[in-house]
Amino acid sequence: MCYTKTMSYQSDDERLSLAVQRARIRFPQGIGTQSEKLVHCALKYYLEPDESCHEVRVRGQKKDGTSYSHVADIFQKERGHIYEIQTRAFDRLRIKLADFLEDYTVTVVYPIPHIKYISWVDPETGEASDRHRSPKTGRFSDILPEIYHLPDIQMHPNLEFLAVLLDLDEYRFLDGWSKDRKRGSHRMERLPVSIAGMEVLKRAEDYASLIPADLPDPFFRTELMKALKLSGRKGSGALSVLTRAGVLEHIGQIDRKYIYSRKENHT
């Protein structure tokens, strides 16, 4: 695993707990988008406790002679390594990553809500309900639709993706428009509780590991999307990413149904 282990005497959960505490000092009121910043900030402290490595402006020169200047979430100068933590919209990273990859190795970190416990908070009294587990469970393959937006650099030798499954406590205001006030409600705070797992995607075999083992071969596109529990554009995006990684190939179609197969000799 590529992330920093600077405090080996701590368990992962202890290290995460300390990171969350430090993040809450930075963002004491996690309302709305602020809550996403708290998750982002906690992961920064988890991956690199040294604040001097956070939010560092990195300058360099492109092959065409022009210069670039971007702020990296984490810059470990001695390693020549950069971490970018992105909760969504990987397309916003295109220019920055293309520039960084000319001079450094880069890890794009994507936090995925794994098991989420929700507590509802009355906005008038501040009283919180008991925790209830959300029926949705995050999977490593949830990162694939985001990687779809980086087609030109997906398999760049200096780039890797780190999918992080986070168990979370989420607090939401009971202020929605529905009768039970839950639909349309606002998130108050989202706190990472533990890390359920991490998966690095860099080589073709890493991507191949995300293909469900019980998927028949060959298979219809719709079968893969159902197995990954991704539909619509997200499902199509995941399929494109796996095809670009060289682990799947389009082998034909029946009527309008596209057929794919695993590529066993991927490199």
Could you check whether the bond before residue 192 is cis, i.e. omega within 30 degrees of 0? no
The SS3 call for residue 75 is strand
CB-based contacts of 157, cutoff 8 Å, min separation 6:
none
Residue 172, class by beta-carbon neighbours within 10 Å (0-12 exposed, 13-18 middle, 19+ buried)?
buried
Q: Which SS3 state, helix, strand or coil, does residue 98 take?
A: helix
User: Residue 265 has what pLDDT?
Assistant: 63
Q: Residue 140: what residue type? A: F
Secondary structure string (H, E, C) spanning 160-189: EEEEEEEEEEEEEECCCCCCCCCCCCCEEE
Q: Sketch out the chain's domains with CATH numbers.
A: 12-202 (no CATH), 214-267 (1.10.10)
The whole-number mean pLDDT for each consecutive block of 10 residues of the chain, a chain of 267 residues, reads: 49 87 75 64 94 94 89 95 94 94 96 92 79 91 97 96 94 80 76 93 96 92 92 93 95 89 74
Could you give the CA distance from residue 243 to residue 200 in angstroms, rounded to a whole number?
Answer: 18
| Residue found by looking up tokens 């991704």 in the block | 230
- Give kind and range of the element (H or E) at residue 107: strand 105-121
CA-nearest of 80, 4, 89 to 45 is 4
Q: 19-55: per-residue pLDDT in tens?
A: 988 888 877 654 444 446 889 999 999 999 999 999 9
pTM of the model: 0.87
Distance between CA atoms of 206 and 115, rounded to whole angstroms? Answer: 23
The pLDDT value recorded for residue 34 is: 47
